[in-house]
Amino acid sequence: MAKNNKVIQKQKKNYDSWLIITVLLLAFYLFFMIYPMISLVKQSFLDKETGLFSMTNYMEFFNNKSNVLALQHSFSISVWVTVFSLILGVPLAYFTTCYKIRGSKLLRVLIILSSMSPPFVGAFSWVVFCGNNGIFTRFMRDVFHIDMPSIYGFNGIVLVMSLSFLSLVYLYVSGALKNIDNSLVEASSNLGTTGFKRFMKVIIPLIMPTMLASALMVFMRAFADFGTPVFIGKGYQVFTVLIYDQYSGEMSQNKAYAAALSVIAIVITTVIFLLQKWANSKFTFTMNALHPIEQKKAKPLQNFLMHLYCYGITLLAFLPQIYVIFSSFQKTSESGLIFKKGFSLNSYRYVLEAYSDTIWNTIKIAVSALLLVVLVSVVCAYLVVRRKNIMNQALDLMTMMPYIIPGSVIGVALIVSFNRSVLGLPVLTGGPFIMIVALIIRRSPYTIRSSVAILQQIPQTIEEASISLGSSKAKTFFKVTLPMMLNGVISGAILSWVSIITELSTAIYLFTYRTRTMTISVYELVTKGSYGYASAMAAILTLFTTISLILYMVVTKGEGSGTA
Amino acid sequence: MSVGIKINHAVKAYGDNVVIPDLSLEVNDGEFFTLLGPSGCGKTTLLRMIAGFNSIEGGDFYFGDKRINNIDPAKRNIGMVFQNYAIFPHLTVEKNVQFGLKNRKMSKEEMKALTDEFMKLMHIEEYKDRMPERLSGGQQQRVALARALVIKPDVLLMDEPLSNLDAKLRVEMRTVIKQIQREVGITNVYVTHDQEEAMSVSDRIAVMNEGEIQHIGKPKDIYQRPANLFVASFIGRTNLCNGKLTVKDGKCIVSLADGYQFEMDNIIEEHQHDQDVILAIRPEELVINEKEGIHAKVDDSVFLGLNTHYYVLSDAVHCIHTEDKDDDRFELIQESMIDEIIPNGTDVRLKIKKEKVNIFTSDGKQNIVKGVKNDKYLYGNK
C-alpha cells in the first residue's frame, strides 16, 4: 500500500511538471503578446491631449485623405501581388512538376534561394539595377535613348514583391501537385479532357486548397512588408511606412495615432484571414498519391516555350541578387556613395570594419531567438497534440495570433508597452532581450504548425510502446518522440533561422545603436545612399542564407519541399 | 514470470459517458485469452486499462496478487503489440528489440544474448541491421512481437495485431503467434473483432458487446452453445427465425411458421413452458434431402470447392433480419458432391440437425437449450 502511495505521488508530480510548463508559456504569451495588444488598443482610443477615451485618433485617421489612401495602397498592392504571384508561380510549379524541364533541380534551388532572401534585398537591388541611376536605366538611355518607365512607386513594389513571393507559391503548389495521383490525370485523358482544359478543369480544382493557402500567405506578407515600400516606394505611401513615420515621427511623433493605425491593420488582416478560411472550407478533401504524376516531354514548340518561361521567371527572380553581389565588388568612392570603374573589396573592408558589430549582433540575437523558438515550438506542439485541455487550447490560439498581426504592429505594441517599467520590472526595451522576444512571438506560429504536423504523423502507440517497455514519460519524449521529430524540426529551424536573420519590420522599432542587426544596417546604408556598402552587407546576408539553404537541403535529403 | 490477471468490477467512463459499466474477469496464468466483439464494444478500452494507457474509473486490476491500478504503465512489466506495430522508425531491427532491455539493469553481453535469442525465435535475425521502413508488414509484426517478449513480461497484450496484414499473412502469423505464446508460456490478452481469428488462437474467448461481457468460454462452447442471441449471430454465420415452443405431456415441441414441428429433448427445465422463441440454425445444421423436413426452394448457389452454399426460400420460416444478413433466404452448406449442383428453382426438403440447434427466449437474452458453459458468472458479472 505504501508503495502505491508513492507511485500516486510520483504520477501527480509528473502531471504537475507539464502543467508548470503550460502555465509558464501562458504567462509568457499573456505578458508579451496579449498585454501589449491590449495596451495598443487602449492607446488607440486615448485622446493625445486630454488622455481620455475618445475616437479622435480614428476620426482623424479617416478624415485625412492621405492616410486612407495609404491603406488603400497597401490593400491594392497586396491584392495585385497575390494575383501576380499566383499567375507566375502556379505555371512554374506545373511545368516543372508535370513536364520534363532540363535542370529543374537547379531551378528549384534558385527559386528556394530567392524565397529565402528578404524582399527588401530584392527591392534594393532593383533600385541599383533599374533605378534612376541604375545600370540598366543608363544603358537603355545611353545606347537606345529610351527612357525606361520609373521603377519607383506602385509598379516597382508590385514587381519586386511578385517576383519575391512567386517562389512561395511555387513551393506550396509543387508540393500539392506531387500529391496528385497519376491515375486522376489518366482518367481525365480517358474521358477526353487534355491539355489546357485538363489544367483548368482537373489540376486547378485539385490544388485549390493549396493555392488559397499560399494566396493568404502572400497577401499577409505583402501587406505587412516594410522594406520593399521603403526602398522602392519613393513617396508611394503604404500603411507599414505610415505607422513607422507616425511612430518615429520626423515631423511629429504620434504614438496614439500609430496605435490606431495598427488596430485598423489588424482588423483588415483578420477579415482577410477569415475570408480565406471560409473559401478554404469549400474545398475539403485530402489527397495522397500512390503514383505521382509522371513527367512527360512536351511537343517541341511547347517544350521550348516552357523552358523559356521557367528559366526566364527564375532568372528574373534571381537576377537582383546576382546584381547585388556584383555591385558589392565594385569600386566605390571614399564615401561609398558613387560607384567607380573597376573592382575592389573596399566595400567589404568598410562594412566588416564599421559594421562588424551588427554581424555579431545578428548572430547572437538570431541564435538565441532560434533556440528559444525551437524549444517553445516543440513544447507547444507536444502540449497541443498530446495533452489536449482548455489551457493548452488557449495557448494554441494565442501562439497563432501573430500569424495575422503584421510585424510592424508587433513592434509598435512592444515598444509602446515596455518602454516604461511594467509590474516593477526594469525597462525591457533598448536591449537585445525585447528583440529576441519579438522574434519568438513572430516566428513561433510557423514552427509550431510544422511541429504539430510532424507530431500528428507520429502514432501515439509508438510512445505507448516505449512506455510499455519500461521507459518513463520523459525518457520516451527524448528517446523516441524527439528523434522522430528531429529531421522535421531541424529543417523547420533552418527556415526559421533564415527569416530571423532577414527580419526587418519589427526590429526597426526595437533596435538601438547597440543592437543593430545586418538588415537594419542595410536599411541605414541605403537610406544614406551608400549603395556599394549596402550591397556588400546584403551580399554577406545572402551568403548566410545560401549556407543555410545548403544545410537545409542536406537535412531534407534534397527534397527541399518544406515550407516555413 | 508469467502471472494471471484478475479484474474486479472495472468501470470506464469518459465524463458522463459510461463505456464499461461493471466488468469482471479472470485470465489464468499462461492462458491465451481473447477479447472479441464488434468495434466500439469496449475491448480495446479494457486492454488499454490493463496496459495503463487508459485511466481506471472504478474497480480493481490485479497481476497475480499485485494490484496495478496505480502503477505507472512503464512499471507494469507488460509486453504490448499494437495494431500498427509501433516499431520505432529511427532504430534498426536489433535496436528495436533491445529497446526495453536498456531500461533494465543488465550487462551488455546478457542484453545481446537475449536480443539474439528472441530475434532467432521470431526468425528476424537476418534483418537485424535493417531499418523498419525496409521490412514488410509481417516482418514488422515479428519485430514487434520479439520486442515485446524479450523483456520477459508478466503478461502479453495484443491489440488487433493482425488486422493490418493481408489475408494470407494473417493466417500465417496467427499460427506463429499461437506457437510462440505456447513456447514462451506467457499469459496473453488478445483483442480482435475477427471471430475466426479468435477461435483459431484462443484458449478462451470473452465475447463483448456495449461494454459488457456476453459470454466467456472455450471456442467450441461459444460456437456450439452461445449464451445469447448476440453471441450466436456474432460468432459464425447463423440463420435466425421465429418459432413457438409448446409443452405437451412433458414433451417440448417446436413449431415453425407453416406448422412444421419437431421435438426437442434438451430444453432447460425452468424454460419448459409455452412461449415464443427464436431459433438459431447454422448453415451446416440443415441437410437437404428428398423425403422429410421443411419445404423450400433453391434460390441460388455458390460453389466454393470443399463446400457448396445454397440459398433457399421457404414459407416455413420467418427469417429475422440482422445487420449482416438482411434477406429472407436461408443459407445452408453442403459438402460438394460429384453430381450436379442442385439447379435454382428446385423444390427441396430440409432436415434440421436438432441436437445442434440453439433456441433463445423471444428477447434473445438467453439460450434455453442445455449445455451452455459461460464462465462469465464465475467472476461476479451480472
Q: What is the pLDDT of residues B71-121, one digit of tens each?
A: 888 888 888 998 888 888 888 999 999 998 888 888 899 999 999 999 998
Q: Render pLDDT for A3-17 as a digit per residue (tens, 0 to 9).
A: 444 444 444 445 567
Cell digits of residue B286: 440443415
CA angle B367, B370, B372 (to 5 degrees): 60
Looking at residue B310, its pLDDT comes to 92
| Closest CA in chain B for residue A485 | B90
Residues of B in Cβ contact (< 8 Å) with A464? 51, 53, 73, 80, 82, 86
Looking at residue B193, its pLDDT comes to 92
Chain-chain contact of B51 with A483 (C-beta, under 8 angstroms) = no
- A500-523 residues labelled b (16+ CB within 10 A) or e (exposed): bbbbbbbbbbbbeeebbbbbbbbb
**Residue holding cell 508535370?**
A98
Looking at residue B218, its pLDDT comes to 95
Q: Which DSSP symbol is given to A216?
A: H
Question: Is there a contact between B191 and B160 (Cβ–Cβ < 8 Å)?
Answer: yes
If DSSP codes are grouped into helix, strand and coil, which group holds residue A479?
A: helix
| Closest CA in chain B for residue A484 | B90
What sign does the CA torsion over B267, B271, B274, B277 have?
A: negative
Chain-chain contact of B53 with A470 (C-beta, under 8 angstroms) = no
Chain-chain contact of A470 with B80 (C-beta, under 8 angstroms) = no
Looking at residue A60, its pLDDT comes to 79
Say if B75 is an interface residue toward chain A (CB within 8 Å). yes
Q: Render pLDDT for B133-185 as a digit per residue (tens, 0 to 9).
A: 888 888 999 999 999 999 889 999 999 998 888 888 888 888 989 998 998 88
DSSP letters of A134-165? -HHHHHIIIII---PPP-SSHHHHHHHHHHHH
Chain-chain contact of A461 with B73 (C-beta, under 8 angstroms) = no
Name the class of domain B5-227.
alpha beta
Looking at residue B325, its pLDDT comes to 64
Looking at residue A82, its pLDDT comes to 94
Say if A2 is an interface residue toward chain B (CB within 8 Å). no
Chain-chain contact of A10 with B83 (C-beta, under 8 angstroms) = no
Residues of B in Cβ contact (< 8 Å) with A483? 90
What value does the mean pLDDT of chain B take? 89
**Partner residue facing A471 (CB), from B67, B69, B103:** B103
A332, containing H or E segment: strand A330-332
Looking at residue A253, its pLDDT comes to 55
Chain-chain contact of B83 with A461 (C-beta, under 8 angstroms) = yes
Say if B164 is an interface residue toward chain A (CB within 8 Å). no
Q: Which of A462, A64, A309, A447 is nearest to B147 (CA)?
A: A462
A524, containing H or E segment: helix A518-528
Q: How many residues does chain B have?
A: 382
| Least confident among A268-282, A545-559, B277-291 | A545-559
Phi and psi at B81, nearest 5°, equal -120, 130
Task: Quote ipTM for the complex.
Answer: 0.77
Q: Is pLDDT above 50 for A227? A: yes
**Residue holding cell 509508438?**
A462
Higher pLDDT residue, A561 or A315? Answer: A315
Say if B151 is an interface residue toward chain A (CB within 8 Å). yes
Chain-chain contact of A484 with B80 (C-beta, under 8 angstroms) = no
Question: Is there a contact between B222 and B205 (Cβ–Cβ < 8 Å)?
Answer: yes
β pairing state of B32-36 and B204-209: parallel
Looking at residue A11, its pLDDT comes to 45
Higher pLDDT residue, A85 or A429? Answer: A85
CA atoms within 13 A on the CB side of A4: 7
| pLDDT grade for A115, boundaries at 50, 70 and 90 | confident
Describe the strand order of the beta sheet including B58-63 as a list of residue ranges: B17-27, B5-14, B58-63, B66-67
Residues of A in Cβ contact (< 8 Å) with B100? 469-470
Higher pLDDT residue, A195 or B234? Answer: B234
What is the CB neighbour count within 10 angstroms for residue A274?
11
Looking at residue B217, its pLDDT comes to 95
Residues 15-54 of A with CB under 8 A from B: none
Looking at residue A250, its pLDDT comes to 52
Phi and psi at A386, nearest 5°, equal -100, -20
Chain-chain contact of B77 with A470 (C-beta, under 8 angstroms) = yes
Q: Cα separation of A53 and A47, whole Å?
A: 6
Say if A59 is an interface residue toward chain B (CB within 8 Å). no
Q: Cα separation of B382 and B374, whole Å?
A: 12
Cell digits of residue A529: 545612399
Domain boundaries, chain B: 5-227, 230-366
Residues 472-501 of A with CB under 8 A from B: 472-473, 475, 480, 483-484
Say if B89 is an interface residue toward chain A (CB within 8 Å). yes
Chain-chain contact of B88 with A8 (C-beta, under 8 angstroms) = no
Most A CBs within 10 A among B88, B133, B158, hence the mutation to make, goes to B88
Say if B70 is an interface residue toward chain A (CB within 8 Å). yes
CA of B251, closest CA in chain A: separation in Å?
58
Q: Is pLDDT above 80 for A41? A: yes
**Partner residue facing B74 (CB), from A8, A471, A483:** A471
Looking at residue A562, its pLDDT comes to 41
Q: Render pLDDT for B226-281 as a digit per residue (tens, 0 to 9).
A: 999 999 989 988 888 889 999 988 889 998 887 888 899 899 999 999 999 999 99
Q: Cα separation of B206 and B214, whole Å?
A: 7
Say if A470 is an interface residue toward chain B (CB within 8 Å). yes
The β-bridge partners of A292 are: A181
For the whole model, what pTM was predicted? Answer: 0.74
Q: Cα separation of B134 and B162, whole Å?
A: 19
Question: Is there a contact between A414 and A347 (Cβ–Cβ < 8 Å)?
Answer: no
If DSSP codes are grouped into helix, strand and coil, which group holds residue A561?
A: coil
What sign does the CA torsion over A263, A266, A271, A272 have?
A: positive
- B156-173 residues labelled b (16+ CB within 10 A) or e (exposed): bbbbbbbebbeeebbeeb
Domains in chain A, CATH or no CATH each:
18-39+349-564 (1.10.3720.10), 73-328 (1.10.3720.10)
A255-281 and A204-224 are packed helices; what angle lies between their axes, rounded to 10 degrees?
180
**Partner residue facing A7 (CB), from B70, B80, B86:** B70
Dihedral angle, C-alpha A450, A456, A461, A465, nearest 10 °: 10
**Partner residue facing B86 (CB), from A7, A10, A461:** A461
Looking at residue B328, its pLDDT comes to 78
Average of per-residue pLDDT across B322-337: 79
Q: Cα separation of B181 and B138, whole Å?
A: 17
The alpha-carbon radius of gyration of chain B (Å, integer) is 24
Question: Is there a contact between A78 and A223 (Cβ–Cβ < 8 Å)?
Answer: yes
Percent of chain A's residues with pLDDT above 90: 7
Say if B103 is an interface residue toward chain A (CB within 8 Å). yes
Q: Is pLDDT above 50 for A563? A: no
Q: What share of chain A is helix, strand, coil (3-state, %, to 5)?
A: 75, 0, 20
Chain-chain contact of B88 with A468 (C-beta, under 8 angstroms) = no
| Closest CA in chain B for residue A470 | B74
**Per-residue H/E/C for chain B:** CCCCEEEEEEEEEECCEEEEEEEEEEECCCCEEEEECCCCCCHHHHHHHHHCCCCCCEEEEEECCEECCCCCHHHCCEEEECCCCCCCCCCCHHHHHHHHHHHCCCCHHHHHHHHHHHHHHCCCHHHCCCCHHHCCHHHHHHHHHHHHHCCCCCEEEEECCCCCCCHHHHHHHHHHHHHHHHHHCCEEEEEECCHHHHHHHCCEEEEEECCEEEEEECHHHHHHCCCCHHHHHHCCCCEEEEEEEEEECCEEEEECCCCCEEEECCECHHHCCCEEEEEEECHHHEEEECCCCEEEEEEEEEECCCEEEEEEECCCCCECCCCCCCCCCEEEEEECCCCCCCCCCCEEEEEECCCCCEEEECCCCCECECCCCCHHHHHCCC
What value does the mean pLDDT of chain A take? 81
Looking at residue B284, its pLDDT comes to 92
CA of A529, closest CA in chain B: separation in Å?
53
Q: Render pLDDT for A232-290 as a digit per residue (tens, 0 to 9).
A: 887 788 888 888 887 776 555 577 777 888 888 888 888 888 888 888 777 766 666 66
Q: Cα separation of A157 and A227, whole Å?
A: 10
Chain-chain contact of B86 with A10 (C-beta, under 8 angstroms) = no
Q: Render pLDDT for A300-347 as a digit per residue (tens, 0 to 9).
A: 888 889 898 999 988 888 887 888 888 888 877 776 667 777 777 878
The β-bridge partners of B78 are: B155
